[in-house]
Amino acid sequence: MADKTQYTPRLRKDYNDKFVAELQKELNLKNVHQVPVLKKVVLNVGLGRAMDDKKIMEIATNTITKITGQHPVQTSAKKSIAGFKLREGNKIGLKVTLRGDKMYEFTDRLITVVLPRLRDFHGVSLKSFDAQGNYSLGMTDQSVFPELSFEETNTPHGLQIVFNIKCMNKTDSKALLTKFGLPFEKGKEV
């Protein structure tokens, strides 16, 4: 009979075992439920310039599928905008929402494998937090993802990664991402 033990991602195990207690102490939180927690990770690709070119949409779909392990959802224009030659209902992008174990595995791979492979990387910007404490990270080079071959990265496109964090403020959110190992720029504060 096979062993039925459940695999837990390394980052989720570290969060539950160590980071919750450390963050509660460091942030002077009275209740464990006030500790910042990663709710979901959303990946977006905007392809407005290529809305007529099905090949670019297929390439971006393949890229997102291989990076995340999930098939992306196509996003459509909500309004017609004549200046951009955009009609309501046109397919203009892709998005994937990661939750649970896939979210922690993707975050771990991004921090430990992908970011160190970026050229001239000095840390991620501290200006990318929104008012609720969510963090956005933009990338233009997909060749740093080990899941993709060189041929699959010949057509570059933008990629936005949004970490949705349940927290009190930006400082708490930064503390959580620092515990996860996200390298921020040196000498700057939130």
**187 conformational bin, left if phi > 0, alpha if psi -120 to 50, beta if neither:** left
pLDDT in tens, the chain (190 residues): 455 567 788 888 988 889 889 988 998 889 888 899 999 999 998 876 666 677 778 888 888 888 888 999 987 776 776 666 666 767 778 899 999 889 999 999 898 888 888 888 888 888 888 888 899 988 887 777 878 777 666 777 788 999 999 988 888 888 888 888 888 887 666 5
Q: Give which of 180, 177, 96, 183 is closest to 133, Cα–Cα.
A: 177
- For the entire predicted model, the pTM comes to 0.84
Domains (ranges, CATH) in the chain?
A: 30-180 (3.30.1440.10)
Distance CA 126, CA 122 (A): 12
